[in-house]
Amino acid sequence: MLLPANSFGLGLRVEHYAALAETDLVSKPDWLEIISENFMVPGGKPLWHLDRLRRDYPVVMHGVSMSIGSADPLDLGYLRELRALADRIEPAWISDHLCWTGVDHRNLHDLLPLALNRATLEHLLPRIAQVQELLGRRLVLENVSSYLQFEADAQGEAQFIAELARRSGCGLLLDVNNVYVSSRNHGFDAQAYIDTIPAESVVQIHLAGHEDQGGLVIDTHDHPICNAVWQLYAYTLRRMGPRPSMIERDDHMPPLPELLAELDQARALAAATLAQALVPA
């Protein structure tokens, strides 16, 4: 089941389980994104809440531990558990990050960037194919925020991701906030990055807040979305058309009505942007 292009979701977090189950919400998300690992358990409260909410909301799965770019072999046990969860809740798609999270079978619990070169690309292609075969679904990969670059980089991140999507057939989760954060940290043109990403591969958009320290911008997911990210989101919609879009919030968690108001801001911006794009020149 695919989600409507012009639909808006929230990341499901513990603080909002009860509020999202209420039936009299004035405004509500169209769908929910879960952190896959939080529910890869044999039972208990997390799955009870998820099963209850799944009756009312479509769901997508978003992981943080696949480590698609690691030098380690893929964790087949992890992938089997991931598929079992997907078979249980029937998500619209399954996503994870274009990164590595550990090596030598140790999870470092961070989303670490990859060297952007031919060797990395050729390493990723068979791993993506293996994941897609094991899951029986197309894998969707997200661009991460980054704070360093490698001397071994041979091309820009957007060019690398575009070629990876074309050759692997994977989908893309375009995190607009991550594009902005990395553009500030590395000094590239965020709009040119968006222009390079193949629109036909983008199945979802992430929006989030960050911490701006002036010389360094950190993807913290603990602030409201800033004006510059809203503007880049509008540019993305003009470039690609509507895409299922959601807000990530992971710290300094506001009450649900505050997050829903921000989600309504995304709806209003998308409606105005797309309406303007349809006006003849």
CA distance 149 to 157: 10
Half-sphere exposure of 191 (CA within 13 A, CB side): 8
- Provide the pLDDT for residue 26: 82
- Provide the pLDDT for residue 92: 98
Q: Residue 169 corresponds to which tokens in the numbers above?
A: 């057939």
Task: Decide if 198 contacts 162 (C-beta within 8 A).
Answer: yes
Sign of CA dihedral 253, 258, 261, 265: negative
The residues, any chain, with a CB within 8 Å of residue 45's CB and separated by 6 or more, are none
Q: Residue 121 corresponds to which tokens in the numbers above?
A: 């690309």
pTM here is 0.96
What residues does 61 pair with on adjacent strands? 34, 94
- Provide the pLDDT for residue 23: 74
> Taking phi first (over 0 means left), then psi (-120 to 50 degrees means alpha), and beta for anything else, what does residue 90 get?
left
CA-based R_g, the chain, Å: 18
- Provide the pLDDT for residue 279: 54
Helices (H), 102-255: 118-135, 157-168, 176-186, 190-196, 227-240
- Provide the pLDDT for residue 280: 53
Domains and CATH numbers, the chain: 8-278 (3.20.20.150)
Task: Decide if 2 contacts 237 (C-beta within 8 A).
Answer: no
Regions of the chain where pLDDT drops below 70 = 1, 278-281
Task: Decide if 251 contacts 220 (C-beta within 8 A).
Answer: yes
CA distance 159 to 210: 24
Sign of CA dihedral 68, 109, 217, 16: positive
- Give the pLDDT confidence of 167-189 residue by residue, as tens digits: 999 999 999 999 999 999 999 99
| CB atoms near residue 117 (< 10 Å) | 15
**Backbone φ and ψ of 160, nearest 5°:** -65, -50
Q: How far apart are the first and last CA of the chain?
A: 36
